[in-house]
Chain A
Amino acid sequence: MEHYNMNLTLKVWRQKNSDTKGHFETFKVGDISSEMSFLEMFDVLNERLVSENKEPVAFDHDCREGICGACSMYIDGEPHGPWAKTTTCQLHMRAFKDGDTIVVEPWRSKAFPVIKDLMVDRSAFDRIIQAGGFVSVNTGNAVDANSLPIVRYKAEEAFNSAACIGCGACVAACKNGSAMLFVGAKVSQLAMLPQGDPERTTRVLNMVAQMDKEGFGNCSNTYACEAECPKGISVANIARLNHEYLRAGLCSEEGDL
């Protein structure tokens, strides 16, 4: 791969905190190598801002390997930028060319308030998991792992759902700010495994109730979430979430009257 250097114009959202209004700030950055990752380009910008005694741009990031789910930029009109199945930290500057203007915004969702600049508060996802995204098994209660064979296909499908990194790109991409891909992935994973069966009914109902409470929108099947998901989580998970909800709400007799 040939390397090249480029000069870019960045339009970056700046917002002091959740109480203030934000605005765009334009930066020119030069000598950006095509080998850099997108966040390394931001590192370069921030180094310069520090040297100019200005506040660097705040953004969430941690593992920089595309697995922790911390990074969360809306780059050039798409969550995590132009590459498919790629987190912001794995997006490389090869995706851009000399002279490009890149617009960078935070995730925008009522349920993800902006903390500062490009950082948002995604604790709503934690609260949805608290509502039911678990198997109630205390430590020490488990039986031998091989006592319950699981159809390989189902185990693989459960894994595909479980691969969600909780970054929130699905919410950011969805025109309705819906979290149904995130919720669907967790509900599906546990619904497909026998371990999740005892709480199957309560799990989906509680998680959906919490999802609504957080202010996320509803799915209108545009499937933008799947297209933008850095882990390629399938919208089949949303169908399964719907299925689980209908099953729990219409077929189950469990619960209080």
Chain B
Amino acid sequence: MLKQPQIFLLMKWGNFFSTTIGKKSMVAASGIFLILFLVVHAGINACIFLNDGGETFNTVASFMSHNWIMRFLELGLFVVLIAHFVQAMIIERKNRAARPVKYHFSQPNKNSKWYSRYMAIFGILILLFLIMHLSQFFIGTKEALYFEGDPYHDLYGEMQEVFSHGWIVALYLVGLIALFWHLLQGFQSAFHTLGLSHKKYAPIIKMMGTWYSVIIILLFALMPLSMYFGWIS
């Protein structure tokens, strides 16, 4: 009888993730997780705007770093973040290899939004920003927790100290701008990659993505700015 065409070995997870679409779906799923994380992060940090000398903020921060569920989730967060970045970079490398000879004259702005084409660049900028950000706040917190006998940790004070330097505030703004464009494209892109495109819901998702990006980034940007300019004390 006739032989059948090649049948992909469907059930093996390795096979599922070996394709570009499989990898990309991981980037999208991890992206959505990170989007949710940013909501929590921004929500907690917004406590500084209560103008209570950082009391509420420090309490919540302390809860986050002591509660074991949160600490477990934090571990997950790092795994997701690394997966997001690594898989995206693997795809980016393949994407770049797909056009070994570049166009000599190209007008990409005629067919796509500029920021949609720079996700990887924004991603790398965000990673660099994160390294700075974590070394400023995260590492110190952990050191205190594990090596210094867990004293009362005045994260609010640390923030005030860090954001008193104009150049750091400027770097934060750069990082946040990169994050803004990354989110503006990434939010709706993630849903598309997960196969969610519906005539009724796609416009809603797109609108949500825009509002989300604007609000989250404004919130984050207000923090260093308001400390630097002393809008909160």
Contacts and interface: CB of A to CB of B under 8 A. Distances in A.
Q: Do chains A and B touch in the complex (CB under 8 A)?
A: yes
A224 B105 CA distance: 16
Q: Which 10 A-B residue pairings sit nearest by Cβ, starting from the closest?
A: A243-B195, A239-B197, A255-B10, A77-B107, A177-B98, A217-B98, A176-B95, A217-B95, A227-B111, A205-B8
A205 B111 contact: no
B100 A175 contact: no
Interface string B179-215: 0000001001100111111000010000000000000
Interface in B86-116: 91, 94-108, 110-113, 116
A256 B9 contact: yes
A193 to B, nearest CB: 18
A212 B20 contact: yes
B196 A243 contact: yes
Given A74-B103, A218-B20, A257-B11, A132 B5 contact: yes
Nearest to A234: B197
A257 B98 CA distance: 31
Contacts of B107: 76-78
Contacts of A11: 105
Contact of A208 (B21, B91, B117, B188): B21
A150 to B, nearest CB: 19
Contacts of A180: 21
Given A108-B99, A245-B21, A222 B112 contact: yes
Given A77-B107, A205-B8, A252-B10, 16 more contacts: A74-B106, A77-B105, A77-B108, A110-B100, A205-B10, A217-B20, A217-B95, A217-B99, A218-B94, A228-B111, A240-B195, A243-B194, A244-B195, A249-B15, A255-B9, A257-B11
Interface size class of B (residues with CB under 8 A): 35 or more
B30 interface: no
Contacts of B24: 218-219, 242
Given A108-B103, A222-B117, A249-B16, A206 B7 contact: yes
B94 A217 contact: yes
Interface string A225-257: 001100000011011111111111110111111
Given A219-B24, A220-B116, A255-B7, A78 B111 contact: yes
A79 to B, nearest CB: 9
Interface of B: 5-12, 15-16, 19-25, 91, 94-108, 110-113, 116-117, 119, 185, 188-189, 192-197, 202
B189 A206 contact: no
Given A76-B107, A205-B10, A256-B7, A242 B98 contact: no
